[in-house]
Amino acid sequence: MFRKLISNLPFSPSLINQVSFYSKRLKKEQFTRRIGLIFTAFAIIVQTLTVLAPAKPTLAASTNDIIFGGGDKAGIQRALSSGCDSRQRCDLKAIFGAYGITSTNFANAKAESIYSSTANNYWSIGRAPRGYGGEVSRSIPGGPTVYSRTLHGWVVNHNWPAYRVETAQGTRWVLQECGNIVTKEGVPATPAPPADVKVEKTVDKPVVKRGDKVSYTIKLTNIGKGTAKNVLLTDTTVPGLELQPDGLSTNPLVTVMRWQTAKRFNMAPGQSLTYKLYAIVRSTGPTTLTNKACADILDINVYNNCDEVPVTVVAPCAIAGKENLSKSDPNCKTTSVTPVVKCAVAGKESLLASDPNCKTVVAQPEKCTIPGKENLPKNSPSCKISTVEKCAIPGKENLTRDDTNCKPQCQYDVTLNQDDTRCVPCPISGKTNLAANSPECRPCDENKQSQDGKDISCLELHKKARNITQQLANANGTTAQAGDTIEYTLSVKNLGKQVRSGFVIEENMEDVLEYADIIDASGATFTNNPVKMLSWDPIALKSGETATRTVLVKIKSSLPSTPASTSDPHSNDMKLVNIYGDSVQIELPRTPIKAVEQTITKLPSTGLGTNIVLSTVLLMAVTYFYFRSRMMVKELGLVRQQFNYGMGV
């Protein structure tokens, strides 16, 4: 447009009016671009000052802080020396001492910045449970319970100003913003792929009779993608079916009722092992005998760790001389032909038994010559040397077969016989190879303690929430509104065999009370130092007994827009989160202020270098267009001046 007007002006002088109009428009544009340049320069100055001296948050402290509000090195040093923070929580020496930090070694601490990322795997220790970042608890001797979680679980890819302290336990960091202790645990290990051990069992003779010998084949295969470790293969049978030691030199029988590998072993993915077992059928039938092979391992699929195969024992033939046949055998029957009976008298066998001459001549019988049996005839069935039949069960050969103890051993307890009423397997899954009366047959570890030192062995903790106002039986994961009433139910069950005395049920309410008030705590005692906690009186839990406690809270009618603290980004996050065995989280509707705050935290974080590049490009663009407009205004002024003096263009 500019060039067109200037080039046509000598041929059409009337265009001077359009040149004047265009000049006025360029002057307005120059003014607008001057204002834009001024504001751009001002914005860059403000941004530079923000980078050099960042603004302090309106809420810098949280009850999660080890040292409330944190501080500089001198302030933290004073708190460590006195043992108390600004809230008069005088447990600092116990907490910091548990991690090897003292006022002496902190005096040599050096300021540095640590970067929270999944690769760095920093862990932060605070006072309040939040349920994030793989949180674990620890009871400090002489101090409170603290909670450790990954630093990137709070805020990922963030720089934290801290003081580095070298201790006897290793390197520790103390965050400036909150005084929380940070440890570094190394790169998280990649979970190993799971193993899946499958047991398959077959038998060569599915139908047998008493005295038969059967052969079992057991195939063990790891069909998973990970290595199966500490595998133990076992095979147990039932009375009437006795295992034989044939070919088991390296893996001998435990009893005639049980076999297992001599030691535990590992199996690579895809590896297969085959074992062969033999057994003798002792049952007369008719019956079905089943024995079971199992791999003792806890893998991804426990349903294929065992396999069993039955053998059917048929009844034997009852006809004398045909006992080796089964009852259903076609040859198991008597003949109807009347036999010819010969004379049984010696020397007269050619005569029939009915012949009158088939008579014996009475003679003095010959006496038995065996000591102690001389009064018996020599042809008496009792005139023979007595033999005692020995017990055929391995390990009991010193007993006679008629001895009451000549019985198979209990496969679960070798001190008992198989038919003993106490020979009962442990009913707990994974422990069926033990006897029911075994000290190890229990569903829990009676001596186990939680990481915070509390004895929760054999206790099952659960928690659920109910929104009474919205009539939601399960409020976990739902959104509550202002004014809603929430009922929390805590339960603890004693799975052990002993009475648990003096157990205290307690509930951390720190996160919930940011947006709610307690209506009814069922007689619990409320404390707020170091965190807001409900505690009930100690109770005694009998074996199998369940104790429950309820807490009623009401959401505030006006939800506060309190910003999250810098030391605890998950505080004041429009969520009610608390944990008692189970984690329960209830969402709240976000206020406009909180929506903006949480949206900003999700925006990408640009560093100083990126800001300088973007600011320079923007400033150059605005400056270019401003000076371009200014130059065009001057050029139009010169054109008009020359035209008015008649000099032409």
Q: Where are the domains of the chain?
A: 2-53+609-644, 73-184, 197-313, 391-441, 459-593
Contacts of 85 (CB under 8 A, 6+ apart): 65, 66, 67, 68, 69, 79, 92, 179
CA distance 1 to 18: 11
CA distances from 431 to 294, 496, 534 (A): 12, 16, 39
Is the pLDDT at 336 greater than 60? The verdict is no
- Reported confidence tier of residue 191, pLDDT bands at 50, 70, 90: low
Task: Return the HEC string of 602-647.
Answer: CCCCCCHHHHHHHHHHHHHHHHHHHHHHHHHHHHHHHHHHHHHCCC
CA angle in degrees (0–180, nearest 5) for 394-212-205: 120
Cα(623)–Cα(626) distance, integer angstroms: 5
Q: What is the spatial distance between Cα 318 and Cα 586, in angstroms, rounded to a whole number?
A: 77
Q: Which of 256, 301, 275, 124 is nearest to 200 (CA)?
A: 275
What is the number of residues in the chain? 649
Describe the crossing of helices 16-52 and 608-644 by its angle, rounded to 10 degrees.
160
Distance CA 297, CA 197 (A): 8
Q: Is the pLDDT of residue 461 over 70?
A: yes
Give the integer Cα–Cα distance in Å for 267 and 233: 12
Average pLDDT over residues 53-72: 72
Helix (H, G, I), strand (E, B) or coil at 458: coil
**What is the greatest pairwise CA distance in the chain?**
183
CATH number for the region 197-313 comes to 2.60.40.10
Which of 375 and 582 is assigned the larger pLDDT?
Answer: 582
CA-to-CA dists, residue 421 to 68, 282, 291, 530, angstroms: 65, 21, 20, 57
3-state secondary structure 361-408: CCCCCCECCCCCCCCCECCCCCCCCCCCCECCCCCCCCCECCCCCCCC
pLDDT higher at 385 or 254 = 254
Residues 6+ apart with CB under 8 A from 6: 19, 639, 649
Given strand 525-527, what is the order of strands in its sheet? 506-508, 533-535, 525-527
Whether the pLDDT of residue 35 is over 60: the answer is yes
Count of CB atoms situated within 10 Å of the CB of 96: 29
How far apart (Å, rounded) are the C-alpha atoms in residues 172 and 384? 92
Provide the pLDDT confidence category of residue 450 given band limits of 50, 70 and 90: very low
3-class DSSP string for 271-309: CEEEEEEEEEECCCCCEEEEEEEEEECCCCCHHHCEEEE
At residue 372, does pLDDT exceed 70? Answer: no
The pLDDT of 112-140, averaged and rounded, is: 79
Q: Is the pLDDT of residue 235 over 80?
A: yes
Provide, for the chain, the percentages of residues in helix, strand and coil under a 3-state DSSP scheme, each rounded to the nearest 5. 20, 30, 50
> With bands split at pLDDT 50, 70 and 90, how would you rate the model's confidence at 147?
confident
- pLDDT at residue 612 is higher than 80: no
Please give the mean pLDDT across all residues of the chain.
80
| CATH architecture of the domain with range 459-593 | Sandwich (2.60)
Phi, psi of 86 (to 5 degrees): -70, -20
- Residue type at 478 in one-letter notation: T
Task: Give pLDDT, residue 506.
Answer: 86
pLDDT attached to residue 648: 46
Continuous segment of H or E residues that includes residue 200: strand 197-203
pTM of the entire predicted model? 0.46
Q: pLDDT (tens digit, 9 = 90+) per residue, 400-410?
A: 777 777 777 77
13-22, 291-300, 478-487, 494-503: range with lowest mean pLDDT: 13-22
Q: Using DSSP bridges, classify how beta strands 306-313 and 207-208 pair: parallel, antiparallel or unpaired.
A: parallel
Q: State the pLDDT confidence band at 418, using cuts at 50, 70 and 90.
A: confident
For residue 51, pLDDT beyond 90: no
Stretch among 290-294, 315-319, 368-372, 502-506 having the lowest mean pLDDT: 368-372
pLDDT digit string, tens, across residues 342-355: 777 776 777 776 77
pLDDT band, residue 398 (cuts 50/70/90): confident
Q: What is the pLDDT of residues 267-311, one digit of tens each?
A: 999 999 999 999 998 888 788 898 899 998 877 787 788 999 999
In CATH terms, are 197-313 and 459-593 the same topology?
yes
At residue 357, what are phi and psi to the nearest 5 degrees? -80, -5
